[in-house]
Structure 1
Amino acid sequence: MSKAFKDKTYQRCACKGPLVDKAGKPILNEDGTPKIGYLEKRCPKLKRRDHGSWYYSIEIPAGPGGKRRRPKKGGFKTQEQAAAEAAKVYNDAQAGVDVLSDETVGEYLRRWLNNQHDLKATTKNGYEDYLRLYFTPHLGHIKLRELRPRHIEEMFAAIQAENKVKEKNQEAAQLAREAEEKTRAAWRDAIAPRDPQLRKTWNDAKAELKAALARPRRETGPATQHRIKMALSSALEDARKRRMITDNWAAMVQTPRMRKAKALEWTPARVEAWRKTGKKPSPVMVWTPEQTGTFLDSVVYDRLYPLWVIIAFLGLRRGEACALPWAEVDLDAGVIHITEEIVTVAYEPHEDTPKSDNIRDIALDEDTIALLRWWRDQQQAEKNEWLEATGEWTDTGRVFTLEDGAEYHPQYFSDRFERLYKKVDLPPIRLHDLRHGSATLALRAGVAMVAVQRRLGHSSIRVTSDIYTTVLAEVEREAAEATVAVVPRSRKRVIPEPKADDEPSQDQEERDGKDAGEDQNVPDQDAA
């Protein structure tokens, strides 16, 4: 195909010399001197293979109003390269791609994002961050029609290089923190009158720590890189469908393997190791039933005790509990309807639909129904006291509110949860892990996986099983033990005890029985 476009190519160079017209006559300046300019195809050196470069110029279907369109480009080392590119551009144009568009990747992505009206607030905010931090700096200057996989791969290579710098910044910050603690202890433990140099050393260490903490330290991990790629792929797929590009180049790029975190329980051995090292075995840790009971017993008199109960047993997300209105709580029917949640975008709270748009109903047990009835009465009593004292009360209709009826910020729940469990010296988990713990409790109680999936509002049962693989293994072992226990056995030992030397084996008994049978069948010779 490219051979057919060789006649659309020509050679040019950057040499300058006296110019001539089409008839070959010299072109003169006003003062009669020869006009100097680029010789281009008239350069005598073009016959040399290493001189100049090759260009192509083709004509493609006319634009609006019948305007002629002639793409041209140069800089190719050989005529074959120029002809091949001409063929590609011609085919792209025939397929509907605007090969003359000068829109850059940055311009297109901004335009694309502005037209995404159905994105959740958190998702759109994440896309804005990707555009600002990654797409614009690394890809924004490239023309959309010239984007290729290598450009995207170079962006991820730069992210990996930045991660190495951030890792070193983390190490430097840790060393600076240790130095600050050491100099602070030296100042604190010094006998009065303290040496002023100790104070100066401490101040210098604090300044170094502040500078170290100001450097970027948060790495862009595999999960975030995967989301960056998927956001870019979504935008480029739309461009492909609109015939702006020929392929979704992002779909061809590989990112580091993303390993989904597995939920692990805080077993005694893991707790002991954590107390020695301070390291969590997994990003997703859940308490054992005993640890969950310890926490709930310790917060019985906390004002938000009902909140901790419904997250621990019903598995609500933080934002779902924050947004839960009394209008969606049917205590007579024993059910709550999860129809909205409050999410934070740059710390600002926004109302939204539940994650994965999973509006669902959750059945309530009798204890939780009684607890929510009590809490509703408590809230009404607080309302009356507040009206009596101030004459004002904010009627948000939420189940969990401040004493004046105003909404909580979702982050307050997480911060308070951390303070409460630390008081009773429990191993660390996130508030979201308390939701994970509700799933492990249900699985241990024999609740079907599909029921757990529906209660948690996961988009698919695979998501549920992927998170709780480790916990499920423990549940399955318990199920195996329970299955064996169903069958009554006279022997308690699973492995047979060794037989005494004089006790015949089963094989010997079978052989003895067979021999005895054969003897009985032999005719008596005397009788014969």
Structure 2
Amino acid sequence: MASAKLMIPKRSAPYYVLTANVTVHGKRVRRYGRFDFDPTVLKTHRQRENAAIEAALVFERAEQQKADDEKDGKNTPFRDVARAYIDSKKSMLDPSVRLEGDYEQHKNKANTTAGKETMLRRICEISPAFAEMPISKVNKRECEKFLELLGEADVRSVKGYAVLKPNAKQYKKLSCPQIAAQCSIQTKSVERVFRGERTTLKTAQEIAAALKCKPEKLFHIELDHRPIARKTIKEYAIFLRLVMQYAEREYGIDNDTQTLAVKGTRSRPVDCLHPEEVEALFRVLPRCSTLEQVIVMGLLNTGMRRGELAGLTWEDIDFDHCTVHVDKSLLIVNKGYHLTTTKEDNVRDIDVAPEFMEYLKTYRDQWLAQKHRMGSAWQTCMDGKWESYRESLQKLRGKNFIVINDFGWPISPDHYGKIVDRVAEKAGIRKIHPHMFRHTFVSILLSNPDIGVATVAAEAGHAQPSTTLAIYTQVYHKRQDSIRSQMSETLYKRKTPER
């Protein structure tokens, strides 16, 4: 039963202490509140007592409701629910084990989970109020307000560079090795900075901190603010909907967020290599390193994703039938190498050109010669950055990966971008990225009208042929003249001029 007790302090105005008896997990718990009154409004003692008792009853009902909501989890902040959702999606098994058995109900790529963790962290940074909002209060309108704030907030990826000012060397009180010892950068990098070469913002900040100066005092800083992409906003909208689905399932919270618009789905042309760029790459490849050759040739001839090529072994190559079997990906997750399933678990066989198979045979001879040359050091010795991956690499020992370093360890797919950039620079073409080879592979297949879309989707590993059509529409734009001519000739018997 709620009660109110009058308190009369010596140096402040009188007030009532409210006591509420609340049931929490089957136990009676007392909670206390306070009721301040205006003596000019509540003039008599009876009026004050009645008002205090009424306030105590309201306080007790509110506290009981709060306790019930806490029991049901309805007052849990959005941040905690999102964290629980992300944790629920994390695999309970090592990623390499997920290749065995049927884990369809719980599959979730580790790199996708890392992306969700990044989104949650940014949500907390952009709008702490939204992150702390009770999950029962989160609705479609609140989500829309956050997405609007996301589009306006300065959380977009800021890239830039710094160049040493001409008069900055007067502040150099330490040698380059001494500066490097106080930073996480190498002495050679410090020397390049003081020769006037461009450097990253992070390096500039570390050097300035070592010299006890502000970066602006030592460097000219150029920032490149890129607006947040519509695709990114779309990913946040999907994440909000998934979290609210989890809240509805786990806490029984009804909400209208499933009607939240997922914007940013407008299709856009993919970036493919032009025929002349492909020719330039083939001309320069003989002058490239073996590692550069196998990565560029592998990506271009198979259309595989980076992780799929990184996880490819010699057992996946069928020289007799000119096919490449794809059933796994090699990813860097939590600072370790892990074999996991392909995207959408699409296991497939890719038909490749016989010339590529001949190249692989030649490369295999080089691969075997390197293995023989390394002897006992093969897949045992780890130098430099590979040492930090020792534990995860040991689990992959014995696998015959195709794309390797000198000691037989697989090359991280995260490094493929720099490798293909080097080849592009040698070929004198624009900057390229590994996924462009996949787009090029699909576009080449679609350019042949005898190869159906379903076949192309199967070769590329798309879950649905509609994905192929939705992404690679520019190939069909090139056929528009042919379509119009065919319709005129068939329906109106109009002869089209020969090309």
What TM-score do the two structures reach when normalised by structure 2? 0.64
2:331–2:412 contact (8 Å) kept in structure 1: no
8 Å contact 1:311–1:317 — kept in the other structure? yes
User: 2: CA distance between counterparts of 1:444 and 1:205?
Assistant: 56
SS at match of 2:132: coil
Query: Which residue of structure 2 aligns with residue 429 of structure 1?
Result: 432
Shift of 1:240: 1.0
Q: Residue 157 and residue 210 in structure 1: after superposition, are their counterparts in 2 closer, same or farther (change >3 A)?
A: farther
Displacement of 1:387 in angstroms is 2.0
Please say if residues 311 and 434 of structure 1, whose CA atoms lie closer than 8 Å, have aligned partners that are also in contact: yes
Q: Partner amino acid for 2:463?
A: S
- Would the aligned equivalents of 1:138 and 1:155 in 2 still touch at CA under 8 Å? no
Match of 1:112 in 2: 85
Q: Is the aligned partner of 1:459 residue 2:463? A: yes
The counterpart of 1:367, out of the listed 346, 355, 370, is 355
Pick closer, same or farther for the CA change 1:122–1:226 going to 2, 3 Å. same
- Partner residue of 2:284? 298
Q: Secondary structure at the match of 2:478?
A: helix
Q: Once the 2 structures are TM-superposed, how far is the Cα of residue 448 of structure 1 from its aligned partner? A: 1.6
Q: Which residue of 1 aligns with 2:268?
A: 261
Q: Which amino acid aligns with 2:114?
A: N
Question: How many residues align structurally?
Answer: 393
Distance change (3 Å), C-alpha of 1:388 and 1:228: closer
Q: What do the CA deviations read for 1:24-57 (whole angstroms, capped 9, x no partner)?
A: xxxxxxxxxxxx974599963899xxx99x9897
Instruction: Deviation per CA, 1:484-503: give whole Å up to 9, x if none.
Output: 999xx9x9968xxxxxxxxx
Counterpart CA distance in 1 for 2:231 and 2:55 is 44
Relative to structure 1, is the Cα distance of residues 37 and 352 closer, same or farther in structure 2, using a 3 angstrom cutoff?
A: closer
**Paired AA for residue 127 in structure 1:** K
Within 5 A, what are the aligned runs for 1:72-151?
A: 72=62, 101-117=74-90, 118-135=107-124, 137-151=128-142
Match of 2:441 among 431, 438, 443: 438
Normalised to the residue count of structure 1, the TM-score between the two structures is: 0.61
Residue 143 of structure 2 is aligned with which of 149, 152, 159?
Answer: 152
The residue that corresponds to 2:96 in the other structure is none
Supply the distance in 1 between the matched residues of 2:252 and 2:268 (Cα, whole angstroms). 38
Q: 1:449 to 1:57 in 2, by over 3 A?
A: farther
Measured against aligned partners, the alpha-carbon deviations of 1:370-389 in whole angstroms (never above 9, x if no partner) come to 22222212211121122299
Question: Cα distance 1:451–1:135, how it changes in 2: closer, same or farther (>3 A)?
Answer: farther
Out of 395, 405, 410, the residue aligned to residue 407 of structure 1 is: 410
**1:10-35, CA deviations, whole angstroms, 9 ceiling, x for partnerless residues?**
xxxxx965879xxxxxxxxxxxxxxx
1:242 aligns to 2:232 (yes or no):
no
Counterpart-to-counterpart distance in 2, 1:391 and 1:19: 76
| Structure-2 residue corresponding to 1:77 | none
Asked whether 1:383 is paired with 2:371, we answer yes
Contact 2:301 2:352 in 1 (8 A): no
| Structural mapping, 1:119-518, within 5 Å | 119-135=108-124, 137-163=128-154, 207=216, 212=221, 217=225, 219-249=227-257, 251-254=258-261, 256-263=263-270, 285-302=271-288, 303-304=290-291, 305-345=293-333, 348-387=336-375, 395-446=398-449, 447-477=451-481
Q: CA deviation at 1:125?
A: 0.4
AA aligned to 2:264 is R
Post-superposition Cα deviations, 1:95-114, rounded to whole Å, max 9, x if no partner, equal x9966853222222222322
Whole-angstrom distance in 2 between the partners of 1:389 and 1:112: 44
Instruction: Tell me the percent identity.
Output: 18
- Contact 1:237/1:248 (<8 A) preserved: no
Which structure would you say has the larger Rg? 1
- Is the CA contact 2:489–2:496 (under 8 Å) kept in the aligned structure 1? no
Task: Name 1:10's counterpart in structure 2.
Answer: none
Q: Residue 484 and residue 18 in structure 1: after superposition, are their counterparts in 2 closer, same or farther (change >3 A)?
A: closer
Q: CA deviation at 1:149?
A: 3.3
Alignment match, 2:42: 44
Partner Cα separation in structure 1 for residue 326 and residue 496 of structure 2: 50
Quick check: 122-131 or 404-413, which moved more? 404-413
Separation (CA, whole Å) in 2 of partners of 1:391 and 1:17: 80
Distance 1:436 1:162, change over 3 A: same
Contact 1:104 1:144 in 2 (8 A): yes
Please tell me whether the aligned partners of residues 303 and 442 of structure 2 are also in contact (alpha carbons under 8 angstroms). Answer: yes
Amino acid corresponding to residue 339 of structure 2 in structure 1? E
Distance 1:44 1:262, change over 3 A: same
Determine if contact 1:97/1:244 at 8 Å carries over to the other structure.
no
| Structure possessing the higher relative contact order (Cα contacts under 8 Å, 6 or more residues apart) | 2
| Alpha-carbon distance between aligned partners in 2 of 1:331 and 1:142, rounded to the nearest angstrom | 59
**What is aligned with 1:511?**
none
Deviations 1:63-102 (A, max 9, x none): xxxxxx974279xxxxxxxxxxx9xx9xxx9xx9966853
Unaligned runs of 5+ in 1: 1-14, 21-35, 59-68, 75-85, 185-198, 264-284, 495-528
Residue aligned with 2:253, SS: coil
| Structure 1 residues 492 and 130: alpha-carbon distance in aligned structure 2, compared to 1, 3 A threshold | closer
Equivalent-residue separation in structure 2 for 1:153 and 1:440 (angstroms) = 37
